[in-house]
Amino acid sequence: MKIVCIGGGPAGFYFAISAKLRDAGHEITVIERDPAGATYGWGVVYWDDLLDMLFRNDLDSARAVRAASVLWQEQRVILRSEQTAYLPGYGFSVGRAALLDILAQRAIELGVDVQYCTEVDDPSATADAELVVVAEGANSRVRQRHGDQFGARVDIGGNPYIWLGTDKVFDSFTFAFEQTSAGWVWFHAYPSSAGISTCIVECAQATWQALGFDSLGSEDSARLLEKIFEHALDGHALISQSRGEPARWLRFTQVTNKTWYHDNQVLIGDAAHTTHFTLGSGTRLAMIDAVMLAQSVYEHEDLSAALQDYDQRGRAALRPIQAAARTSMAWFERADRYLDRDAVAFAYSMSGRQGAQPPWRYQMHLATQVPALRIAQREFHSIRRRYLARRRGEPATALALITQRFAHNP
């Protein structure tokens, strides 16, 4: 089948890889408007469930993604630079640029034609394709052009945010909330590659305006944020340039569609749906869409039956995740309601933002603030992580590195 993917993000590349692995006879072109290696943003977090799927779907790219990723342990919640509370768990993070390099190389190796520096803005560019995979991201033009057919809806979040890097190395997923004269400002930070962490700063619109961010450029915004977060960043710098592009203050774009296909055009990834970044799931969902669509195309001879199958399964699986993401975004937009609590109570409220928790969870939360019990819980998670890694077939060297890192940093 002749297939064109518009957009070389995680969704477009991973679809191309997954479809080629299922049928090497497909003629697939990925068209990306940016040059190779140019992408917005810093690191993205993910968990074991994504690695499980990647290892099942394509061992080569899965191993490379795992090798390019870093491990973070626990969530740390810092209030006013004074109090710290902990939430258990661990996850992984990979630089967006590294992830895309791996996926692009693997797609090319499998025979996908990748065309960089080419923007699709005219439907005739894909006229001879039997299937057009629209992987253009949240601001997809094809979706905008056929908004009525897709039943597209776009809502804009209330809080401004800016996606920055920092040379402070975080070893846990860290939230720092600082109170300024104009209101609360906070960041979500995690390691993303050797020596660099990702730092997403967010605040209420009124606070943002009162602090003057509406009239500051990207570098000046970074300098002011360095002052606000001087303690939480240990005096480290914030980096506003990502691959030559200055970071901009944005507001979250929430995308939903009543259907994900129209004729031979099918939406995947952020073009079909977005989930707020506080859930850390958009990349995972984009790659799940990619596998699901490739599998539907493989299983159905008739293309419209394949697209219908993908559409129904994909939307049903997404519904609870999108609901959780909306609740999570709303919690952060009302965070100041909870900020009169101490750090332990505040962290507990944050951990339960997607729904009610059983009463014993609070007792457990209190217990795991005690250092000895935290260490025991980390050891338990480490054993579980090693078990999952072995089960999915991670190479021993990667396992050894994880173990070594854990031993140095319990």
Ligand X SMILES: Cc1cc2nc3c(=O)[nH]c(=O)nc-3n(C[C@H](O)[C@H](O)[C@H](O)COP(=O)(O)OP(=O)(O)OC[C@H]3O[C@@H](n4cnc5c(N)ncnc54)[C@H](O)[C@@H]3O)c2cc1C
Task: List residues binding ligand X (CB under 6 A).
Answer: 6-12, 31-34, 41, 44-46, 119-121, 135-137, 141, 163, 200, 269-271, 277, 280-284, 286
Nearer to ligand X, 163 or 332 (CB): 163
C-beta closer to ligand X: residue 34 or 178: 34
Q: Residue 222's Cα: distance from chain center in Å? A: 22
- Shortest separation between residue 40's beta carbon and ligand X, angstroms: 8
Least distance (Å) between residue 8 CB and ligand X: 5
- Please, what is the minimum distance in Å from the beta carbon of residue 169 to ligand X? 17
Rounded-to-integer distance, Cα 352 and Cα 339, Å:
15
Closer residue to ligand X, CB minimum distance, 281 or 368: 281
Taking the C-alpha atoms of residue 276 and residue 282, their distance in angstroms, rounded to an integer, is: 8
In the complex with ligand X, which residue's Cβ is closer, 268 or 389?
A: 268
A 10 A CB-CB count for 110 gives 19
Question: Is the separation of the CB atoms in 5 and 31 below 8 Å?
Answer: yes
Contact 285, 256 (CB under 8 A): no
Residue 78 to residue 274: CA distance in whole angstroms: 28
Q: Which is nearer to ligand X, 10 or 365 (CB)?
A: 10
For strand 70-79 and strand 113-115, is the pairing parallel, antiparallel, or unpaired? unpaired
Closest CA to 18 of 388, 271, 296: 296
Q: Which is nearer to ligand X, 10 or 314 (CB)?
A: 10
- Among all chains, which residue has been given the structure tokens 């979706």? 143
- Shortest Å, Cβ 163 to ligand X: 4
Q: How far apart are the C-alpha atoms of 300 and 398, rounded to whole Å?
A: 38
Closest approach of ligand X to the CB of residue 118, in Å: 6
In angstroms, give the least distance from the CB of 132 to ligand X: 11
Query: Rounded distance, CA 409 to CA 239, Å?
Result: 26
Residue 261 CB, shortest distance to ligand X, in Å, is 15
Task: Pick the closer one to ligand X by CB: 281 or 382.
Answer: 281
Tallying the residues shown for the chain, one arrives at: 410
Residue 37 DSSP label: T
Least Å distance, CB 320 to ligand X, is 16
Residue with tokens 């945010």: 161
Least spacing, CB of residue 66 vs ligand X, in Å: 15
Q: Exposed, middle or buried: residue 224 (CB in 10 Å: 0-12, 13-18, 19+)?
A: middle
Give the span between the Cα atoms of 169 and 197, in whole angstroms.
Answer: 6
CA angle, corner 212, sides to 211 and 214, nearest 5?
125
Q: In the structure encoding, which two tokens stand for residue 146, read together? A: 């056929």
| Residue 193, both tokens | 């590659």
**Closer residue to ligand X, CB minimum distance, 279 or 297:** 279
Nearest residue (CB) to ligand X, 286 versus 365: 286
